[in-house]
Amino acid sequence: MKYASDFKKDNQKITMVTCYDYSFAKILNDSDIDAILVGDSLGMVIYGHSDTLKVSLEMMVSHTEAVRRGAPNKFIVADMPFLSTRKGLEIAMDSAHSLMKAGANAIKVEGVRGQEKIILAFIEAGIPVMGHLGLTPQYYQNLGGFKVQGKGLDAEEELIAQSRVLTNLGVFSIVLECVPSFLASKIQTEVDVPIIGIGAGVNVCGQVLVLNDLLGITEDKFKFVRHFSCLKKDILTSVNSYCDSVRDHSFPSKEESFQ
């Protein structure tokens, strides 16, 4: 089991994937992955919503519990859902507490501006915090959609400044999503904590991907995604083969039936 303090800037890249359920978590528990993210992307990937804004604390708790049951030995980060850090310190602290009780080792907070005190309070209370900057999907309405961030000098400087603020607050790592590679690389050299990139190029300390994208289950393929498997095709082939076997009476066989 890793701890937040094991996330360091060194030559060994940090690997992270999302996971939302027990079955996949069980497989990941046997894998080489360094960390699992119970991301609020589950609102889109699992529940079919068009964004992450409808994800509730109850959903995050339930999925975090399932992932912890499947992956007892992995470092798990759980996302603070939309607005859970914006309704005052007590609600934020209760929400983070629920995620930690559900089995998370750390929480992830999107953005920083206006949340500095709350992030500091989490860290002082013993809750490791992972930051998330760049394309922060909970803010997509303000960002003009799901698109590359940090374009232009002002935007670049603001992202660097936000990374410094987060680092000074004491986050152990920062997810940087959809920013030009040169900027991600610059941010990585400016801050002491490891940057975990997604759509941020190769010059950062680690990478995170949505598991369903990595496995080729999801249909849309963003530029920054690589399908390391074609599970959608394999699943379709398997299900159609099952249908054929049922229809031609070859399933179940005698051996697969109780005599």
Cite the active site residues: 177
- 175 makes contact with ligand KIV (CB under 6 A): yes
Which residues have CB under 8 Å from 142's CB, separation 6+?
Answer: none
Residue nearest to ligand KIV (CB): 39
Identity of the residue, 224 or 251, whose beta carbon is nearer to ligand KIV in the bound complex: 224
118 lines the binding site for ligand KIV (CB under 6 A): no
Write down the residue that tokens 């890249």 correspond to. Answer: 13
Quick check: 213 binds ligand KIV (CB under 6 A)? no
Q: Which of residues 132-151 bind ligand KIV (CB under 6 A)?
A: 132
Q: Looking at 7, 25, 40, 205, which residue binds ligand KIV (CB under 6 A)?
A: 40
Regarding 41 and contact with ligand KIV (CB under 6 A), the answer is: yes
Q: Which residue has the tokens 């990595």?
A: 214
Comparing CB distances to ligand KIV, the nearer of 37 and 76 is: 37
Q: Which residues pair with 110 in a beta bridge?
A: 132
Binding-site member from 133, 178, 210, 215 for ligand KIV (CB under 6 A): 210
3-state secondary structure at position 124: helix
- Cα separation, 62 vs 58, whole angstroms: 6
Site string for ligand KIV, 223-252 (x = CB under 6 A): ------------------------------
Q: Which of 149/237 has CB closer to ligand KIV?
A: 149
The reply to whether 39 sits near ligand KIV by the rule CB under 6 A is yes
Rounded to whole angstroms, how far apart are CA atoms 168 and 79?
A: 21
- Give me the half-sphere count of Cα atoms (radius 13 Å) on the Cβ side of residue 189: 6
Q: DSSP character for 137?
A: G
Cα gap 36→2, rounded to integer Å? 11
Q: Is 208 in the site for ligand KIV (CB under 6 A)?
A: yes
Q: At closest approach, how far in Å is the CB of 135 from ligand KIV?
A: 9
87-109 burial code (b ≥16 CB/10 A, e <16): eeeeebbebbebbbebbbbbbbb
Site size for ligand KIV (CB under 6 A): 12
Catalogue the E-assigned strands of the chain.
14-18, 35-38, 75-79, 106-110, 129-134, 173-177, 195-198, 206-209
Q: Which of residues 78-97 bind ligand KIV (CB under 6 A)?
A: 79
Query: Pick from 159, 191, 198, 215: which binds ligand KIV (CB under 6 A)?
Result: 198
Residue of the chain from 4, 14, 18, 67 that contacts ligand KIV (CB under 6 A)? 18
Residues that bind ligand KIV (CB under 6 A): 18, 37, 39-41, 79, 132, 175, 177, 198, 208, 210
